[in-house]
Amino acid sequence: MTMFDYWSWEEKIPLDQIKKINERISRLESDGEDQPAEDTTKTAGVKILNYCDLQDYINPYLNYILSVNEFNFGYNLYRVTYSKCNYNVYEKDGEYDWHVDESLNAFHDIKLTALINLSEDNYKGGDFQLMKGHVINVAFKKPGDMLVFKSHINHKVTPVTKGVRKTLTLFLKGPRFQ
């Protein structure tokens, strides 16, 4: 686990569990349209899911994310139970240019973004980067890797050059920053 406005865990979720999560997701219908950040390029297939449909698979890992928040970030967060999450599939040339995760809601902000690498096979490209005065290449390439970061930090996914990159994105929200 490392920290620089983010925390990461390598291969936290075993491959057999990743396969079960992907199988569950394959049986779910998308619950809405993706809303990528304005003025940026996003070329990924996106399925919007209800967290409650995945909670039996994800809750054990969510506890790690919530612990990092409690002891390192200290954000006031709402329960995740009724949140939406994004299942992103980046194929060759798939990318998501520089952006921040934010809410247009008058009552809450996205405070943390959590990513789970659900790729079952290795891929090339598709690197995750943060911009905090300089570009930070974050280790998030292996199946089962997890990452949580402050949502207001500029970040991107570089183009995938080979294989398929699959991730689940959770947006952890709380009362508006004041």
Least Cα distance to 126 among 168, 85, 170, 94 occurs for 94
Residue listed under structure tokens 């006031």: 76
- pLDDT average, residue stretch 134-156: 95
pLDDT of residue 35: 82
Domain 6-32+41-175 fold: Jelly Rolls (2.60.120)
The answer to whether residues 157 and 74 touch, using CB atoms and an 8 Å cutoff, is no
The answer to whether residues 118 and 17 touch, using CB atoms and an 8 Å cutoff, is no
Rounded to 5 degrees, φ, ψ at 67 are: -65, -40
Band of residue 140 on the pLDDT scale cut at 50, 70, 90:
very high
**Per-domain residue ranges for the chain?**
6-32+41-175
pLDDT of residue 4: 65
Hey, is 72 helix, strand or coil? helix
DSSP annotation of 71? I
- pLDDT tens figures, 16-31: 999 999 999 999 999 9
The structure's pTM equals 0.94
Least Cα distance to 148 among 12, 7, 13 occurs for 7
Least Cα distance to 37 among 137, 163, 173, 157 occurs for 157
* Cα–Cα distance measured from residue 66 to residue 28, given in angstroms and rounded to the nearest whole number: 26
What is the bridge-based pairing of β-strands 124-125 and 160-162?
antiparallel
